[in-house]
């Protein structure tokens, strides 16, 4: 059957589709150690809260019917929009009204709208692109543009922060904001790396965006005020030129598919209009489940006192296990400043991490090879084949077993495969040459 360009673009098998399929099938067969995928942990105290809320909804006369039997407005449920605006104003004093907020069926679909609103063909046939200043960046953006060649990414600058640790930064000396940039987009905390842009970097990006009259899209799916899976003290920012994406997923509600956009009214109207066309309205379940917690502020308390400490402890424990298991290997882990992912860089691996993924899969350990997070680069970058993403939200014993098998497999690869010079002509990673000598 002949599909339109749109149909072809969105139905063509992408690498990530194949990978997710692979991960899904392996999961279904069971028995595997699942360190791939983006599922949050099942935190018992948090699950109990959502169960309690469901029971309250069912026990309140008419509440369940009001939740499932009505379409909301395309912008969202007014009570939710108002309560969220109030909560955020109380916390940060941003002066939001309900008109600054829209709810979508997932932040994934919010980003589909936003990335296509600000890239592609504009009036006078001008072509514009989304600029991603901090590659590697969230895999979920990679195939979202309706038009071809709509993304432009810049490699991060690498700072070595310790013997076996590093941190990515925006390389402002390389960023070029030309006429063809329609928006700047970055996730903070960043999936896949666990990076959190510093306040200075965000201010700098916001300044550049404003200067060039393009919006800054800040994806806050793991950030503050909820779910607060962020381990460094940074300042949340918003202004009329910033579009903030949020989500209920990492609160432990990935299946309710609720995304939130905070932006100037004109952008909220456009997002609502797109939501009406694509979905008529968003589902109400997530909004109704969380509404009393947003009204009372309990959502902040559970984020700070349950969710944040839960992942912070897991982050420490997995890093400890890595230090023990990876002893003697040439590796570096990105500073884990947020999210529930570890980004591990194997510097002298003679095979790509796509091949390592296959080998690990044969041993029942599923990770995500790093190459999928390097879309939109102008030049190839060897670094893309040297990293893996590990989701550490599973039970500690499972995560630890997975880490041990990864260490063992990397050792086996190093023993059996002679080091091959990379012949692809790919330039070395920025900052690679500045690596401190390792003992």
Q: How many CB atoms lie within 10 A of CB 290?
A: 24
Binding flag, residue 325, ligand PLP (CB under 6 A): no
Binding flag, residue 247, ligand PLP (CB under 6 A): yes
What is the enclosing helix (H) or strand (E) of 217?
Answer: strand 216-219
Binding flag, residue 191, ligand PLP (CB under 6 A): yes
Binding flag, residue 282, ligand PLP (CB under 6 A): no
Q: Which of the ranges 42-50, 112-120, 246-254, 419-427 carries the binding residues for ligand PLP, by CB under 6 A? A: 246-254
Q: Which of the ranges 83-91, 104-112, 153-161, 314-322 carries the binding residues for ligand PLP, by CB under 6 A? A: 104-112
Burial 343-364 (b: 16+ CB within 10 A, else e): bbbbeebebbbbebbeebbeee
237 three-class SS = coil
Beta bridge partners of 131: 152, 184
Identify the residue among 113, 138, 238, 346 touching ligand PLP (CB under 6 A). Answer: 138
Of residues 202 through 231, those in contact with ligand PLP by CB under 6 A are 219, 221
Q: Could you tell me if 231 and 73 are in contact, meaning their C-beta atoms sit under 8 angstroms apart?
A: no
Q: Which of the ranges 9-17, 102-110, 145-153, 420-428 carries the binding residues for ligand PLP, by CB under 6 A? A: 102-110
Binding flag, residue 153, ligand PLP (CB under 6 A): no
Q: Which of the ranges 100-108, 231-239, 322-330, 349-357 carries the binding residues for ligand PLP, by CB under 6 A? A: 100-108
Q: How far is the CB of 187 from ligand PLP (least distance, A)?
A: 4
Identify the residue among 259, 370, 402, 431 touching ligand PLP (CB under 6 A). Answer: 259
> For 41-105, what is the HEC assignment?
CCCHHHHHHHHHHHHHHHHCCCHHHHHHCCCCECCECHHHHHHHHHHHHHHHCCCCCHHHEEEEC
Binding flag, residue 135, ligand PLP (CB under 6 A): no
Identify the residue among 67, 80, 102, 107 touching ligand PLP (CB under 6 A). Answer: 107
Is the bond leading into 225 cis (omega within 30 degrees of zero)? yes
What is the enclosing helix (H) or strand (E) of 34?
Answer: strand 33-34
Q: How far is the CB of 140 from ligand PLP (least distance, A)?
A: 5
Binding flag, residue 140, ligand PLP (CB under 6 A): yes
Identify the residue among 15, 254, 350, 364 touching ligand PLP (CB under 6 A). Answer: 254
- Chain centroid to Cα 33, Å, comes to 22
Q: Could you tell me if 302 and 53 are in contact, meaning their C-beta atoms sit under 8 angstroms apart?
A: no
For residue 332, what are the CA distances in angstroms to 329, 348, 418? 9, 11, 21
Q: How far is the CB of 257 from ligand PLP (least distance, A)?
A: 7
Q: Which residues of the chain form contacts with ligand PLP (CB under 6 A)?
A: 38, 106-108, 138, 140, 187, 191, 219, 221, 247, 249, 254, 259
């Amino acid at each position: 059957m002949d599909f339109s360009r749109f149909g072809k673009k969105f139905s063509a098998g992408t690498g990530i589709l194949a990978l997710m399929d692979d991960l899904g099938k392996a999961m279904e067969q069971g028995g595997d150690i699942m360190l791939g995928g983006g599922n949050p942990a099942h935190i018992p105290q948090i699950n109990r809260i959502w169960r309690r809320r469901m029971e309250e909804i069912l026990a309140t006369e008419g509440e369940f019917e009001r939740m499932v039997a009505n379409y909301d407005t395309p912008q969202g449920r007014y009570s939710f929009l108002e309560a969220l605006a109030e909560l955020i104003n109380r916390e940060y004093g941003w002066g939001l009204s309900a008109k600054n907020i829209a709810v979508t069926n997932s932040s994934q679909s919010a980003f589909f709208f936003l990335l296509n609103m600000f890239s592609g063909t504009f009036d006078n046939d001008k072509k514009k692109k989304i600029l991603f200043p901090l590659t590697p960046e969230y895999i979920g953006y990679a195939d979202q543009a309706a038009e071809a060649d709509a993304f432009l990414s810049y490699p991060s600058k690498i700072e070595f922060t310790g013997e076996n640790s590093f941190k990515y930064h925006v390389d402002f000396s390389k960023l070029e904001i030309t006429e063809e940039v329609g928006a700047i987009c970055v996730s903070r905390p960043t999936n896949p790396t666990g990076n959190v842009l510093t306040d200075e970097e965000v201010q700098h990006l916001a300044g550049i965006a404003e200067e060039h009259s393009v919006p800054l899209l800040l994806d806050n799916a793991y950030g503050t005020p909820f779910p607060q899976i962020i381990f460094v003290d940074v300042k949340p920012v918003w202004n009329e030129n910033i579009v903030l994406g949020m989500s209920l997923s990492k609160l432990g509600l990935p299946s309710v598919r609720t995304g939130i956009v905070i932006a100037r009214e004109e952008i909220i109207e456009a997002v609502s209009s797109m939501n009406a066309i694509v979905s008529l309205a968003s589902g109400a379940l997530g909004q109704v489940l969380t509404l009393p917690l947003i009204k009372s502020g309990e959502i902040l308390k559970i984020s700070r006192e349950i969710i944040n400490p839960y992942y912070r402890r897991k982050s420490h424990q997995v890093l400890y296990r890595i230090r023990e298991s990876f002893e003697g290997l040439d590796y570096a882990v990105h500073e884990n400043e947020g999210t529930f992912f570890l980004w591990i860089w194997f510097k002298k691996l003679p095979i790509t991490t796509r091949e390592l993924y296959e080998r690990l899969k044969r041993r029942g350990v599923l990770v995500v090879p790093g190459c999928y997070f390097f879309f939109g680069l102008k030049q190839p970058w060897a670094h893309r084949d040297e990293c893996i993403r590990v989701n550490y939200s599973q039970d500690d014993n499972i995560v630890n077993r997975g880490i041990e098998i990864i260490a063992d497999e990397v050792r086996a690869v190093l023993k059996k495969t002679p080091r091959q010079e990379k012949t692809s002509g790919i330039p070395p990673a920025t900052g690679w040459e500045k690596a401190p000598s390792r003992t």
